[in-house]
Structure 1
Amino acid sequence: MKRMEIGEIVDGLRKAGFSCEFRGSDDCSIEGFSDPASYLPGTAVWLGATRYLKLDESEWNQVTLLFARPDMEGAEKFPSVLYCEDPRNAFMFVVESCVERKPCLGIHPAAVVSDEAVLGAGVSVGAGSVVEAGVSIGDGTVVQENAVIHSGTVIGSNCRIMDGVCIGNDGFGFRRNDEGGWTRLPHLGRVVIGDDVEIGDCSNVDKGTFKDTVVGNGTKIDALCHVGHNVQIGRDCLLTYTEIGGNAVIGDRCVFVSSCVKNRIVIGSDVYAGIGSVVIKDLPDGVECFGNPARIVKKGR
């Protein structure tokens, strides 16, 4: 990346609505960004607390630019500090402004896209991916390599479907037959995905039986997640390494960390399920839960 002067950084943040104040040398400039655990000279870093920076205090003067809250203890010991009420988002905004946007790659020659699929403007489909008949994909959505989008799936605009994702296949539904074995249930529903959704590598979202499986606008699903048939997920949720059983209903702005949600569970909005949670009962709005089975440990998030 090109070297950025502190004046350029501050101006860009203020124009974007960030409240910030710089203390340090006027000739401060950066040529990259660092993780606190492996700081690189000449770069910027953000800290919620100095304990996250893997440098001795005697080495803090090597940090070219620190993003920090005004009340962060120890910040005054760094040579150049950009004080922000929200230093993480301010830092990420600057990082994003330096990232070169990849141009739309269109449809790769090794992709298979049905003539009966409807693709919006600027859609990209990577090598080895399959988009079946009856699929609708909104403007600016990127389908990466080796994904499969089954018939009837609706994907909104500006989504990112990563490698190996499967959307719209039959769910895991069976009934006992007269011989005591299992007969697969028909799945006549669809998957409907909103705008600005991300689905990580090798995750899958099953279509509904008689109603649609729905993923709301802005929701982000990490790699190796499973969303069962008829599930309803609200807006702006985060799922990481999580399994959602069929017919579960999840509200808006929920976070699930390496969790498992039983089928037919109803979960409110603003719920946080911590690592390893096994949710077997309904949860109201605004609670945090942990454990197996999951127990509410905090109310009023």
Structure 2
Amino acid sequence: MDQQNTDIKLADKLNEDYHNLTNEISKVVIGQEDVVRLLLTSIFCQGHSLLVGVPGLAKTLLIHTIASAVNLSFNRIQFTPDLMPSDILGAETIDKDRNFRFIKGPIFANIILADEINRTPPKTQAALLEAMQEYSVTVAGVHYPLERPFYVLATQNPIEQEGTYPLPEAQLDRFMFNIQLDYPAYQSEVDIVKNTTSDKSHRVQEVLSGEQIVAYQHLVRRVPIADNVVEYAVSLVHKTRPNTNGASETANEFLEWGAGPRASQYLVLAAKCNALLNGKYSPDIEDVQAVAKPILRHRIVRNFKAEAEGITIDNVIEKLL
């Protein structure tokens, strides 16, 4: 009972801190409230996010602002075709006394912005994705743990695909969310232009510490959830798998491949966090539906018929919901 009361207080504190956090972020990043909510949800769920958007939509500014508001170390890695795994992880060098010394790479930070991850070869992508999965790196046979919280936001440009190395489905599955970043609304863009062309600078106040985020990550996993909500999440994922027992007609008609069990796990985790951010102590089916698109859109593959008829992945998910 004591643990339950403690968790309720912590849940109220998370809700309060979330609103303070979004207020601070909105001083610098105008609009994009849904994107900010999803990014913070993935941090509180110990997940990673893939952000897909055209250049110039303030992806770097957004993640840098979040890092400032939560007092976490931040590194940006610009992915290029000649980037090597050692450029990310670090490497052993010989010092003046002829001893081997490990020089840490940029991966050793709390928040990593992997800019244009599809611009680098698979070997380098795999080095980053291993760190995301294992929360550690191995260099020259030595194991180095990464400091928690550890969060990767990878970006992709959906337009320029020449000379890129698209992430395979198995690696895309490591990301909790695939977040689509759209152009800002007209009034938001007016405010952005006013803000960025004046001499004023907006400072973001620190709201959360790394220790508090880790505490909230544990809290999210302790949130109770009804069996019918878990069953709804699992059945939604089963509906995406064509030519199986639980498949929907939509999946059989338009999908080549469906989502795996990790999608069910992330639907439940994100629904728990979504409930807390809304001031609830337990998620319902609406919370699962609220996070379904960013969780499923990179885990299902359209077939030729869907592409020929112009049916998008989001259209398919809407039909399933």
Interval of TM-score (by shorter of Structure 1 and Structure 2): under 0.3
Q: TM-score, normalised by structure 1?
A: 0.20
Structure with a larger share of its residues in strand: 1
Larger radius of gyration: 1
Greater RCO, 1 or 2 (C-alpha within 8 Å, sep 6+): 2
Structure with a larger share of its residues in helix: 2
Q: TM-score, normalised by structure 2?
A: 0.19
